[in-house]
Copies of this chain bind each other. A is one copy, B any other.
Amino acid sequence: MRRSQLFTKAFREPPSDEESTNARLLMQAGYVQKLMSGVYTFLPLGLLTLRKIENIVREEMNRIGGQEVLMPALHPIEHYEKTGRAAIEDLFHTQLSTGSRFVLGQSHEEVVVPMVQKFIQSYRDLPLAVYQIQTKFRNELRAKSGLFRGREFIMKDLYSFHSSEDDFESYYKKVQYAYRTIFSHVGIGEKTFLTYASGGTFSKISHEFQTVAEAGEDIIAICNYCHVAINEQDRSLFPRCPECDQDPQETKKSIEIANIFPLKTRYTDAFGLTVKNNAGEDQKVIMGCYGIGISRLMGAIAELYNDKNGLMLPKSVAPFSLYLIGLGKQGGDEAEKLYARLQKDDVSVLYDDRSDASAGEKFADADLLGIPQRVVVSEKTLAERLCEIKDRTTNVCSLVPLTDFINNMSLYVR
């Protein structure tokens, strides 16, 4: 894409009305814009990154047999009365002029259970896993921390249904592996810990995925031997690491980017969802739910991958692979040719063709936007048929023969 055709701009200064690092950076670089506290618009660059994250998540969900659906945001209150959740604090409520009451979904147990109920009758219809990537709403009084705690946000929520505890347990493990793959793929694998937490009122434990970040609102106690953690607020349930039985070595602030939860039969019971077993008798259905905050993940990546000059996005989620700059008349001409060639080869490139921006402004923008590779051609480099490549993920610059760059493009782009 030509930068001159992108309507968003990078700002010289971070926004004054935003405290969190993730939203400050993403707003300054023109990835998102704040409509109000906890509610953001995804601008073209931000939407490209969001879609990349979504597709990484989607691929893993499909791999573990998840079937994608899209459920509504508007839910009838009656379903929440059945599950006893109609009065929970952070739901948004709305209604028709006739008085029919709806809530805005912040999770979808009340929709997915009656939905699958129409399709499964027998134990042979199980296991079943359905998921969606969808917009959720939470009535947060104090929305803060940028994309970490929103009033409107995008989540992937997967729900699984099983005819036995064993089958559930095995799928629950499978989701854990899929989540690790996802977090590793988007670049936060090493900083993300499977975290033991309380299961609330209906299961002993649940699991979170916590990413170590200064801006996080949680505290986790980490076992470095096992690369797992314990949510500090549930420490009393887990006096030592549940995997190696040793004391966790350190505590750190972290952000919960995903959770997985054994729901057992809490919701299937509420809706009377049963299946026939092989003797033709009704049997209970065991359920799990598995969330990933998609927009929150984008916030976490921004929070972890930056320096004083801006974002430093991993290749897997950056909106473009290359940021192309041509300096001076000769550099500009060569950049045009290079851009045409890259377009032809389907390389994802943002070409800074602005005639009203200085070299310094272009360099600053390239850094701020955090596109993984910056490619510069100028009179000086072209004298030796070279281009300068800056790897924004390491900030290392190198001079590379233009022909090598073109012939070995796969080294530079995903």
Contact = CB atoms under 8 A, between A and B. Distances in A.
Contacts of A39: 72, 74
Interface stretch (A92-100, A164-172, A226-234, A245-253): A92-100
B68 A139 contact: no
A115 B9 CA distance: 12
A120 interface: yes
B141 A98 contact: yes
Interface in A26-44: 30, 33, 35-36, 39-44
A36 B67 CA distance: 22
Interface in A49-107: 50, 65, 67-76, 92-94, 96-98, 102, 104
A116 B44 CA distance: 12
A277 interface: no
25 contacts: A7-B116, A7-B119, A7-B120, A7-B130, A33-B115, A33-B118, A35-B72, A35-B74, A35-B76, A35-B111, A36-B74, A40-B72, A41-B69, A41-B71, A41-B72, A41-B111, A41-B115, A42-B69, A73-B73, A73-B152, A74-B92, A92-B102, A94-B94, A94-B104, A97-B139
Contacts of A33: 115, 118
Contact of A96 (B50, B118, B125, B141): B141
B67 A6 contact: yes
A11 to B, nearest CB: 9
A162 interface: no
Contacts of A120: 7
A194 to B, nearest CB: 28
B73 A47 contact: no
Contacts of A97: 139, 141
Contacts of A373: none
A67 B44 contact: yes
Nearest to A48: B68
Interface in A118-145: 118-120, 125, 128, 130, 135, 137, 139, 141
Given A7-B119, A74-B151, 13 more contacts: A7-B120, A7-B125, A8-B119, A33-B118, A35-B74, A35-B111, A36-B76, A40-B72, A42-B69, A44-B69, A73-B152, A96-B141, A97-B141
A101 B141 CA distance: 12
Contact of A68 (B47, B65, B70, B102): B47
Contacts of A65: 5
Interface string A334-372: 000000000000000000000000000000000000000
Contacts of A41: 69-72, 111, 115
A64 to B, nearest CB: 13
Nearest to A44: B67
A355 to B, nearest CB: 11
Interface in A144-190: 151-152
A142 B68 CA distance: 30
A72 B92 CA distance: 15
A2 to B, nearest CB: 11
A69 B7 CA distance: 11
Nearest to A116: B7
A72 B218 CA distance: 27
A127 to B, nearest CB: 10
Contact of A47 (B6, B8, B70, B118): B70
